[in-house]
Structure formats: structure tokens, C-alpha cells
Amino acid sequence: MIECDQDMFDDATKTELLNEFTKFTSIEACEENIQTIMHILDVNKNGNVDRCEEANFVRVLDPSNTWEYVIKYSHNQPLLPGEEDARSCSTHLDEHE
């Protein structure tokens, strides 16, 4: 298993992420807003949302997820807009319907 900070977002950032996520009411709205979320998630500012950052985000959305679960299904994703946005939107909206 990879080593990660399991609590990398402070309370203000968690609130900001949850507020931004409420805008994801459709695939189109998600595609319009995903880059904002991704830039918040890129804690180390390396131009990617890495597995640790994504796993922490999934736990912000649903704290009942175990760390083992979120890290197992996390992945790296570049901040570049495009096809990856649509894939992320489909994945995250499907998980939280």
C-alpha cells in the first residue's frame, strides 16, 4: 500500500470541496466545474490529482469509506481539461447518486 496523509484537507478546504461538489447536478455541470475541484485537490501542486489526494476527496464526500477502500480504487489524474473530465464526472456522479 502507498504511504499517504489520510487527513490532508483542513476543515475549511473540506467545506469548500463539499460546496463545489453541490454544483455537480448533471454531467454537463460537472464538466463545467470539475477543474475547480481538481485544482483544490492538487495539494502538492504537481499538476496531477494523485492517488492520495483523490482518496482523501472520496473520504470527504463519504467519510464512511474505509481508507483501504478509497486508496485501492484511487488513481492519478492530470489537471488538463478534456476527456479525463468527462470520465471523472461519470465516475463520481455514478458513485454518489
Q: How much is the average pLDDT of 75-88?
A: 71
* Structural domain boundaries in the chain: 11-95
> What does the pLDDT look like over 11-45, one tens digit per residue?
999 999 999 999 999 999 988 889 999 999 999 99
How far does the chain reach from its first CA to its final CA, in angstroms? 29
| pLDDT > 70 in the chain, percent | 82
Dihedral angle at the C-alpha atoms of 31, 49, 15, 13, nearest 10 degrees? -140
Cell of 89: 464526472
**Count of CB atoms situated within 10 Å of the CB of 18:** 11
Radius of gyration of the chain (CA): 12
Contact between 85 and 32 (Cβ < 8 Å): no
pLDDT of residue 31: 86
